[in-house]
A and B are shown apart, each in its own frame.
Chain A
C-alpha cells in the first residue's frame, strides 16, 4: 500500500514553493541538498538491515522520512516511516525487505525529481 503512494506529491511541492515565495532556485537547491545527503542515509539503512541492527536503522529512516516529506517525496517518506517503526519495534526480520523497497523508492524519487525538472 505504501508503494501505491505518489512518488512525488505535487500539492506538497506547490505548498513548498508558495511558502518560499515561488523561489524556484531555492527549491532546486533544496532538492539538490536532498539528493546529496540521501545516499548516505540509504547506505546506513542498507548496512543496518544487512547486520540486522534494528536500533541503528531508526535514525537514518527517521531523517529521511522528514526530509522526504518536506519535498513531497511521499512514497519515500512513507517507506522510511515504516522502516523507522519496524526498527523501533525490533522487527529485525522485516528489515531487509523494507530496505530493498526503500532503495527502489529512492531510485524512483530521484527519477521523478529529474523529470519534474528539479534536478539535473
Chain B
C-alpha cells in the first residue's frame, strides 16, 4: 500500500503495540505522542499519511481537538481518522464519529479488528483518491477541449468550429449537398502593389484589409472557407442554414465595397492604387470536409464555386458580379446593371451576368 499510518497516543506502550500490529499487516507507521505532534507530522508528511490512529485522551491537544483540526484543514480532511478508545468511552466515540472520524478501535487492541478497520479505511481512502484523480483528469480534459475549441475558432470560421465540436458534426463533415452561395473577392492591382511596396507595408495593409473584411463576414453570418493573400472565399447557407443566403452574400459584398472605399482612400494618400472586385454565384454544391489526412478544410465544391471565382476575376474595380441564379434570388433587393453574357474559362456557353450597383433600400434613400 502507499502511505504510512500515523499512530497518535501519549502512551509509548500503546504506540509500540499499534505499530507492531500494523507492521504485521504490512503497514509501516509513524508515531506522535500528542495532538500537536500529530498535526505537524501530518502537515510535513502531507500526502504520505494514509490513515491516522488517534487516541482520545492525551495531554495538550486531545483527540477531539486534533480530530477537529484535521477535519477543518482542507489539505488534511480527506485522511481517514480511526479513534482509539476504551470500551468504556463509547459516548466519546459517538462524538468523534460526528466530528468526522472514520471509525473507532477499541482498547485493548485486538489485532484482527485493528487490521480490518485499518484496511477498510485505506480502501475508502483509495476509492476517494481515485475519484479525486478522475475528477481532476476530467477537469483537465474539459479544459483541453475548451482550449481546443477556442483555438479552433481562431483558425476556422466560427460556424465550422462550432460544427466540429457539436454532436452532429461528424455527419456534417462527411459531406452533403445543398444549395449555397459562394462569394469570391480580391484586390485589383495588388500584385503590382506588393511588387513595388515594402513587405512591412504589404503585410500592414493586408492586416487592415483582413480585419475590416473579417468583421463584415462574421456580421453577415458567412463561412470563410479560405483566404490567400488578398483573395477570400466565403460561402453562405452552410453549415448553418440561411433562407436568405443570397441576400446575405450580396449585402456583405456591398458592405465590403463601402468599407473598402474608406481603406482605399487612406491607401491612396500613401500612393497605393488598389481596387476591389467580387464574384457571387449560387447553386447546388457539395459541402463538407475536403483535403487529406493531416490537413482538411471545411469547403464547398461545385459549379457555383467556379462561377463565383471566374466572375471575381472578371470583375473590374468596384464591381460585384452575380450569376443569373443569384440575381434571381435578390432581384427585388438590388439595383443591378446588365453587363452581358460573359465568357468564363471552362464554360461552354457565356453566362449572363449583372453588376450590383447598390441595394434598393439604400438607393431609395439617396436623392435621385
Q: State the A residues within 8 Å of B (CB).
A: 12, 19-21, 26, 29-30, 33-34, 36-37, 58-59, 62-63, 65-67, 69-71, 81
Smallest CB-CB A-B distances: 7 pairs:
A67-B13, A67-B11, A33-B12, A19-B111, A62-B57, A63-B11, A34-B13
Contact A37–B12 (Cβ < 8 Å): yes
Contact B13–A59 (Cβ < 8 Å): no
Contact B20–A66 (Cβ < 8 Å): no
Q: State the B residues within 8 Å of A (CB).
A: 10-14, 16-17, 20-21, 24, 57-59, 86, 88, 107-109, 111
Contact A26–B20 (Cβ < 8 Å): yes
CA–CA, A69 and B24, complex, Å: 21
CA–CA, A20 and B108, complex, Å: 14
Contact A20–B12 (Cβ < 8 Å): no
Residues of A within 8 A of B88 (CB): 81
CA–CA, A36 and B11, complex, Å: 11
Residues of B within 8 A of A21 (CB): 24
The secondary-structure label for the interface of chain A is helix
Residues of A within 8 A of B10 (CB): 59, 63
With contacts A36-B12, A37-B12, A63-B11 known, is A70 near B108, CB below 8 A?
A: yes
Contact B11–A37 (Cβ < 8 Å): yes
CB distance from B279 to the nearest CB of A (A): 92
Contact B86–A66 (Cβ < 8 Å): yes
CA–CA, A12 and B108, complex, Å: 10
With A29-B16, A34-B13, A37-B13 known, 7 other A-B pairs at CB within 8 A are: A19-B21, A19-B111, A33-B16, A59-B10, A70-B13, A70-B109, A71-B13
Contact A65–B86 (Cβ < 8 Å): yes
Q: Which of A21, A37, A66, A71 has the most CB of B within 10 A?
A: A66
Residues of B within 8 A of A65 (CB): 86
Residues of B within 8 A of A19 (CB): 21, 111
For residue B56, which residue of chain A has the nearest CB? Answer: A62
Would you list 13 pairs from A and B whose C-beta atoms are within 8 A, ordered by A residue?
A12-B108, A21-B24, A33-B16, A59-B59, A62-B57, A63-B10, A66-B86, A66-B107, A67-B11, A67-B13, A67-B14, A69-B107, A70-B17
CA–CA, A60 and B111, complex, Å: 25
With contacts A19-B111, A59-B59 known, is A66 near B14, CB below 8 A?
A: yes
CA–CA, A21 and B23, complex, Å: 12
Residues of B within 8 A of A36 (CB): 12
For residue A34, which residue of chain B has the nearest CB? Answer: B13
Residues of A within 8 A of B58 (CB): 59
CB distance from B55 to the nearest CB of A (A): 9
CB distance from A17 to the nearest CB of B (A): 12
CB distance from B203 to the nearest CB of A (A): 81
For residue A85, which residue of chain B has the nearest CB? Answer: B88
Contact pick for A30, options B13, B24, B59, B108, CB 8 Å? B13
With contacts A66-B107, A69-B107 known, is A59 near B57, CB below 8 A?
A: yes
Contact A66–B24 (Cβ < 8 Å): no
Residues of A within 8 A of B14 (CB): 66-67, 70
For residue B86, which residue of chain A has the nearest CB? Answer: A66
CB distance from B145 to the nearest CB of A (A): 55
CA–CA, A36 and B58, complex, Å: 18
CB distance from A83 to the nearest CB of B (A): 13
Contact pick for A20, options B24, B57, B86, CB 8 Å? B24
CA–CA, A65 and B85, complex, Å: 12
CA–CA, A15 and B236, complex, Å: 87
CB distance from A15 to the nearest CB of B (A): 9
CA–CA, A39 and B108, complex, Å: 21
Q: Which of B11, B16, B17, B57 has the most CB of A within 10 A?
A: B11
Residues of B within 8 A of A69 (CB): 107-108
CB distance from B97 to the nearest CB of A (A): 20
CA–CA, A30 and B14, complex, Å: 9
For residue B15, which residue of chain A has the nearest CB? Answer: A33
Residues of A within 8 A of B11 (CB): 37, 63, 66-67
CB distance from A67 to the nearest CB of B (A): 4
CA–CA, A18 and B13, complex, Å: 17
CB distance from B113 to the nearest CB of A (A): 11
Residues of A within 8 A of B109 (CB): 70
